[in-house]
A and B are shown apart, each in its own frame.
Chain A
Amino acid sequence: MIEKYLILAILLFSIGIVGVLSRRNIIIIYMSIELMLNAVNLALLAVASYVGSEDAHVISLMIIALAAAEAALFMALFVTLYRHKRSLDTSIFDLLGDKKATQRSTVQGNTNA
């Protein structure tokens, strides 16, 4: 029975990865990260119920607390970014790269100023 829970956790984790890699909206990316954290929680609790120890519950609690702290900081970040750039697109921040190359590539599409 435990396998099913673990498989569900794995599926949720993969969906989270897909979300991080394929979306350009920064809020959606953040929420996909949270989804991944939840998947890990699920896996932890599944194993805990199998083994019978409550340490996993405590760890799970810590993860939720961590997610809360992370949420606070992320939100602050979103607000600051939106204030400066007036957009939520991740492809604006390309200072690490080569301007001429990005202009030539067709994958990017339009970028907001």
Chain B
Amino acid sequence: MNIELILFTILALLTLSSAIAMVSVHRPIDAALSFIITLISLAGIFALLHASFLFVVQIIIYAGAILTLILFIIMFLNIKDENLPKEPKKNLWLLGTSLLTLPFTLIMIKIINSANFGSCTQLDENFGSIEAVGKVLYSSWVLPFELISILLLVALVGAITLAKREESDTTKRVQEVSQKEVS
């Protein structure tokens, strides 16, 4: 009964319960908050796995940037409770789809349990630290690194193009505003 197992159990239970909560609550804001809890517990598990750099990245970027963006959009859209999509028999649906994914889950678990993993390699002190990851990132993975930056640029441009208002809308608004100012 080592400390790793106890920590893992606590964090795993937390992750699972918040994930289930996220999937089943009605309002998106509740779901987003549950998702944050999931992400932070997941970060803890990353830390347990000696992935110190990714633990930090997960919290800063995933929970801190992406989820913040999601929360911002949810609050920006400002949907009233009555305007949310009505989902009748939501629980029935959840039950049904979980039955659907049950074969997949069970088989995968069975495969994992019956697999012979052999002995694990001895990890050195520096494993998963920012230094080690940085070394690998900028030596053998430098091309994907550059490509990812281009991808992010594309995503940036794409997001602006998708979300901007139509030309006619802006000019109309400008005209309305200028007319109001004049009159």
Contact: B141 with A71, CB < 8 Å?
Answer: no
B contact face: mostly helix, strand, loop, or mixed? helix
Number of residue pairs across A and B with beta carbons under 8 Å? 231
16 A-B pairs whose Cβ atoms sit less than 8 Å apart in the complex: A3-B115, A8-B16, A19-B22, A25-B87, A27-B73, A28-B22, A31-B31, A31-B32, A35-B38, A57-B54, A57-B136, A71-B70, A73-B162, A79-B77, A90-B85, A109-B88
Chain A residues with Cβ below 8 Å from B109 are 7, 10
Contact A55 B112 (CB under 8 A): no
Q: Are A22 and B93 within 8 A (Cβ)?
A: yes
User: Which A residues are within 8 Å of any B CB, using their own CB?
Assistant: 1-8, 10-12, 14-19, 21-25, 27-28, 30-32, 34-35, 38, 41-42, 45-46, 48-52, 54-55, 57-58, 60-62, 64-73, 75-80, 82, 86-91, 109-110, 112
Taking a contact as CB atoms under 8 Å apart, the answer to whether B151 and A18 are in contact is no
Q: Look across to chain B and name the residue whose beta carbon is closest to the beta carbon of A27.
A: B28
**Closest Cβ of chain B: how far from A86's Cβ, in Å?**
8
Contact B49 A5 (CB under 8 A): yes
**Do most interface residues of chain A lie in helix, strand or loop, or is the interface mixed?**
helix
Contact A64 B62 (CB under 8 A): yes
The reply to whether the CB of B177 lies closer than 8 angstroms to some CB of chain A is no
| B183 adjacent to chain A (CB < 8 Å) | no
> 1/0 per residue B99-110: CB within 8 Å of A?
011001100110
Our pick among B46, B54, B66, B120 for the contact of A71 (Cβ within 8 Å) is B66
Contact between B132 and A54 (Cβ–Cβ < 8 Å)? Answer: yes
With A22-B97, A45-B49, A61-B133 in contact, is A38–B121 under 8 Å at CB? Answer: no
Q: Is the CB of B159 within 8 A of A67?
A: no
Q: Residues 1-45 of chain B: 1 if any A CB is under 8 Å from the residue's CB, otherwise 0? A: 000110010001001100110110000100110010011001001
CA gap between A111 and B154 in the complex, in Å: 35
Enumerate B58-108 residues with CB–CB distance to A below 8 Å: 58, 61-62, 65-66, 69-70, 73-74, 76-77, 79, 83-88, 90, 93-94, 96-98, 100-101, 104-105, 108
Contacts A6-B112, A58-B144, A69-B154 aside, 19 further interface pairs with beta carbons under 8 A come to: A8-B15, A10-B105, A18-B94, A25-B28, A27-B70, A27-B74, A31-B22, A38-B62, A50-B120, A50-B121, A57-B53, A57-B133, A61-B57, A67-B66, A72-B159, A76-B160, A79-B76, A82-B77, A109-B88
Residue count of chain B within 8 Å CB distance of chain A: 84
